Amino acid sequence: MKTTVLALALLFSAFPGFPQGRLILGNDSNHLFVLGDTLPADAAFGGGNGTVGNTTGAIPIAPLPSGVTLAVALFVGPTSAALALQTVIPLDATGWLSPGRMRDFNLPSLFPVGAPFFCDLVVHDSAFTPASGLRLGASYYGESGTFWVNGTPLPGIVRLDNYWPEGNLVINVPEPEVYVLPAVLALGLGLGRHRQLRQQAICARPPNEVVA
């Protein structure tokens, strides 16, 4: 097995021109980008869900009334546990084809022709990086979930939305309790621990000692 891996490594290093595929990063009517829970200024454009073909919440304009411009980030990797950011494309006024549909972008594949790989798409507020904790409520965030691509043909191009499971990608601003509740629980646990320690200290004092 080690010999096979070494042979493959030598093959790739000996032929730096080994054919690379191309990717089409885009979406279609079965994978619309829609707004679910929104900022107050964007409420008229929200209410979308993941149902295939449902155009409610399909993002119509850029920037949104709130001033937010979205971006789509493409993560790729040889396994679902080893994804890395390949590119971020702003979905500004030139990035939309129609409501909920971004323009197609032709990108180089990071993998040789025929080699399978995994992808994940993240649509987020372009003012933040995709990994900046947007799930905690900073701003808009939506994710396709990881999906498998069966390599790119030789010669040719693979459309990622041919492999992405059907359903709208919903972009939300999480409700405040999504990220406030953990902090409240942590505070409550801290107060409870403080009371417990104080009670233990009181019980450990000599019986005639006055407790303030």
The torsion angle over the Cα atoms of residues 110, 172, 179 and 120, rounded to 10 degrees, is -20
Q: Are 83 and 77 in contact (CB under 8 A)?
A: yes
Q: Where are the domains of the chain?
A: 15-174, 175-212
Does residue 183 surpass a pLDDT of 70?
Answer: no
Does residue 191 surpass a pLDDT of 90?
Answer: no
pLDDT tens for 102-152 read: 999 999 999 988 899 999 999 999 988 876 445 555 789 999 999 999 988
In this structure, what token pair is assigned to residue 162?
């041919």
Which band of pLDDT confidence, cut at 50, 70 and 90, is reported for residue 16? low
pLDDT tens for 25-65 read: 999 999 999 999 999 999 999 999 999 999 999 998 889 99
Q: Are 141 and 134 in contact (CB under 8 A)?
A: yes
Give the helix, strand, coil percentages of the chain, each rounded to 5.
25, 30, 45
Q: Mean pLDDT score of the chain, rounded to an integer?
A: 78
- For position 206, what pLDDT does the model report? 52
List of residues 6+ apart from 41 with CB closer than 8 A? 64, 65, 66, 67
- For position 135, what pLDDT does the model report? 54
E-assigned strand segments in the chain: 20-25, 33-35, 70-77, 84-91, 96-98, 101-102, 105-112, 117-125, 141-143, 147-149, 157-159, 169-171
Does residue 3 surpass a pLDDT of 70?
Answer: no
| Rounded Cα gap, residues 32 and 53, in angstroms | 8
Question: In this structure, how many other beta carbons lie within 10 angstroms of the beta carbon of residue 109?
Answer: 20
Question: What's the mean pLDDT in 89-108?
Answer: 93
Which band of pLDDT confidence, cut at 50, 70 and 90, is reported for residue 182? very low
pLDDT tens for 156-169 read: 788 999 999 999 99
